[in-house]
Amino acid sequence: MEIVVDAGDTTRTYEVVASRAGRRVETAVRRGVVEVSEVTRSGTVVRTARFMANRVLALVEQPIPREDSSDKAG
């Protein structure tokens, strides 16, 4: 997940990645705050990034390309 934030005269880009197999990235908007969290299979939060919602310009989800088994055989 890529987060683009307004930093006054420029923009800043932050990235939250599911660093291990089986983890996922979840996004929540609560009370004017955008929370992006890396979560394990059991639901335990590993890390969280918080941003003021009125400063967030974009949330970009970039799926991981999966290898097709037919490509490997051919």
73 pLDDT more than 60:
no
Tell me the C-alpha distance between 11 and 27, whole Å. Answer: 20
| Nearest-angstrom CA–CA distance, 41 and 22 | 6
Check residues 39 and 74 and name the one with the higher pLDDT. Answer: 39
**Residue range 38-56, pLDDT digits in tens:** 999 999 999 999 999 999 9
3-state DSSP assignment of residue 64: coil
Closest CA to 3 of 46, 66, 48: 48
Rounded to two decimals, the pTM is 0.75
* Banded pLDDT at 68 (limits 50, 70, 90): low
**Torsion angles phi and psi, residue 40, rounded to 5:** -80, 175
